[in-house]
Amino acid sequence: MKRLMTMAATASLLALPLHAEPVKIGFVTTLTTGAAVIGTDMQNAVNLAMEHLGGKAGDTELEVIFGDDQFAPEAGKQVTDKLVKQDDVDFVAGYIWSHVLLASRKSVLDADKILISANAGPSQMAGKLCDKNFFSTSWQNDQTPMAMGEVLNRQGVKSLYLMAPNYAAGKDMTAGVERTFTGEIVGKDLTKWGADAQLDFSAELAKAKASGADGLFVFYPGAAGGAFVKQYQQAGLKETLPLYSVFTVDAISLPKLQSAGFTDVIGSKVTQEWDPSLDNAANKKFVTDFKAKFGHYPSYYGAQSYDAIMLIASAVEKVGGDMSDKDALRAALKEADFESVRGDFTFGNNNLPVQNFYLREVVEDADGVWTTKVVETVYENHVDSFAAECDMK
């Protein structure tokens, strides 16, 4: 009898499928330097996603290992190598910064692991460098400023001055607005970026004002956004040089602008693929639980990170936790069969989302907290401009 029991136990152990081992997700973001404020938001959203999933995708345990890129490409590549080689993760997700993602992509793709961007969308990786193992839950960098260019045309803005940081995404962002804006670009400044980024924009603001442009387009993500808006108000440019921004005025910068009383930002318009006010069940649950847990609104960085984990979970569940069949795994990811907080979307040929872009306005909510709400839909099911350069079908 005892022997029978042992045999039965052995048999049941053998019968256990291979996926008893947890599926590991490496998540690379910025957890130190001033940009850690973004990374923390993403980390919170990932932890909330794991909580909503109960730590599982179907029957498979999920495990997340965070890595800090220190806001620098070389450190980002190093921590990616560590996740791929030492921790042997199945997915590497995250990446705020385009230059960090560009530096790290080979480490993941050469090891035949799945790479998922939760923010950065460099033009190269949407086009010529597209890869069957690379997916995105954000956008291609040019898309959001293209939507802004469209808005400027509709509002009858004739001339524009551009300011952005001097790195991969800064160049994509200015290229994006230049692609759709039909008026004249009267000047452009690219400022120093990185851990010792330029945060005092006095010289550039003086130039922008002297240029006599109808409007000022800027892209300053993270802490730089708050700094920029303050100097914009201190320079008293609201009347003469209206501000049109992307990834600058957001749930990261608004709480600090509110605490310091920079009221000029109310009513300011930005474009985005997501907003806390979007009306779908997944988004309501995400925003409500995030606010209850962390005491403030999530940002789009958080929303995209939440989606990245949900996308991974949906695919892992579809393949029953079997990470060995990459073709099945990729097919499962490509279906994007999960409740995205931005509403349903599909993946294009280059594995970037085909999705809507909205115009948002900064408002005060019912509790007196500054946030954004959707004003109108600028693009419906927008495909990025580099998809055609990608040779995947």
Partner 1 sequence: MDFSLLVIQGLNGLQLGLLLFLVASGLTLVFGILDFVNLAHGSLYMLGAFFCATLTYLFGNFILALIVAVPITGVIGFLVERFVARPLYARDHLDHVLGTFGLILVIDTLTHLIWGPEGLSVPLPDWLRGQITLWGDTVVPTFRLMIIGAGLAAAAGLFWMVNRTRLGMLIRAGASNRTMVSALGIDIELLFGLVFALGAAMAGLAGMLIAPITEATIGMGNGIIITAFVVIIVGGIGSIKGAFIAALLIGLIDTLGRSFLDDIFALFMSPVAAENSAPAISAMLIYIIMALVLAFRPQGLFPPKVR
- Coil vs helix vs strand at 371: strand
Applying CB under 8 A, which of residues 65, 72, 175, 235 lies at the interface with partner 1?
Answer: 235
- Which residue number, 89 or 102, has a Cβ lying nearer to partner 1? 102
Please report, as residue ranges, which positions from 211 to 230 form the binding site for partner 1 (by CB under 8 A): 223, 226-227, 230
Is 234 an interacting residue with respect to partner 1 (CB under 8 A)? yes
Query: Is residue 38 within 8 Å of 96, Cβ to Cβ?
Result: yes
Residue 47, exposed/middle/buried by CB under 10 A (0-12, 13-18, 19+)? middle
Is 239 an interacting residue with respect to partner 1 (CB under 8 A)? no
Query: Is residue 217 within 8 Å of 161, Cβ to Cβ?
Result: yes
Please report, as residue ranges, which positions from 254 to 313 form the binding site for partner 1 (by CB under 8 A): 255-257, 259-261
Query: Is residue 209 within 8 Å of 152, Cβ to Cβ?
Result: no
**Stretch (H or E) spanning 148:** helix 143-154
- Which residue number, 80 or 253, has a Cβ lying nearer to partner 1? 253
Q: In whole angstroms, how close is the CB of 310 to partner 1 at the nearest point?
A: 25
- Which residue number, 196 or 279, has a Cβ lying nearer to partner 1? 196
Give which of 108, 144, 184 is closest to 353, Cα–Cα: 144
Applying CB under 8 A, which of residues 18, 20, 195, 388 lies at the interface with partner 1?
Answer: 195
Is 210 an interacting residue with respect to partner 1 (CB under 8 A)? yes
Packing angle, helices 300-318 and 281-294, rounded to 10: 120
Task: Give dist(CA 151, CA 153) in Å, integer.
Answer: 5
Applying CB under 8 A, which of residues 23, 37, 84, 270 lies at the interface with partner 1?
Answer: 37
Is 200 an interacting residue with respect to partner 1 (CB under 8 A)? yes
- Which residue number, 231 or 280, has a Cβ lying nearer to partner 1? 231
Task: Give dist(CA 49, CA 45) in Å, integer.
Answer: 6
Is 197 an interacting residue with respect to partner 1 (CB under 8 A)? yes
Place of tokens 């603001």: 205
- Which residue number, 172 or 317, has a Cβ lying nearer to partner 1? 172
Q: In whole angstroms, how close is the CB of 330 to partner 1 at the nearest point?
A: 35
80 phi and psi angles, rounded to 5 deg: -65, -45
Question: Where are the extended beta strands (E) located within the chain?
Answer: 23-29, 56-57, 60-68, 91-94, 114-117, 134-136, 159-165, 184-191, 215-219, 243-246, 269-272, 346-347, 353-364, 370-382
Applying CB under 8 A, which of residues 51, 192, 335, 364 lies at the interface with partner 1?
Answer: 192
Contacts of 345 (CB under 8 A, 6+ apart): 336, 353, 354, 355
Is 203 an interacting residue with respect to partner 1 (CB under 8 A)? yes
Please report, as residue ranges, which positions from 156 to 185 form the binding site for partner 1 (by CB under 8 A): 166
Q: In whole angstroms, how close is the CB of 303 to partner 1 at the nearest point?
A: 18
- Which residue number, 294 or 345, has a Cβ lying nearer to partner 1? 294
Q: In whole angstroms, how close is the CB of 181 to partner 1 at the nearest point?
A: 16
Q: In whole angstroms, how close is the CB of 193 to partner 1 at the nearest point?
A: 10
Is 206 an interacting residue with respect to partner 1 (CB under 8 A)? yes
Counted residue by residue, the chain has a size of 393
Q: In whole angstroms, how close is the CB of 121 to partner 1 at the nearest point?
A: 21
Task: Give dist(CA 327, CA 133) in Å, integer.
Answer: 10
Is 42 an interacting residue with respect to partner 1 (CB under 8 A)? no
Query: Is residue 78 within 8 Å of 104, Cβ to Cβ?
Result: no
Tokens of 167: 């790195």
Applying CB under 8 A, which of residues 56, 82, 106, 207 lies at the interface with partner 1?
Answer: 207
Task: Give dist(CA 194, CA 223) in Å, integer.
Answer: 12
β-bridge pairing 269-272 and 353-364: antiparallel
Q: In whole angstroms, how close is the CB of 280 to partner 1 at the nearest point?
A: 28
Q: In whole angstroms, how close is the CB of 245 to partner 1 at the nearest point?
A: 17
Contacts of 253 (CB under 8 A, 6+ apart): 222, 223, 225, 226, 229
- Which residues sit at the interface with partner 1, rule CB under 8 A? 31-34, 36-37, 39-40, 166, 188-192, 195-197, 199-200, 202-204, 206-207, 210, 223, 226-227, 230-231, 233-236, 252, 255-257, 259-261
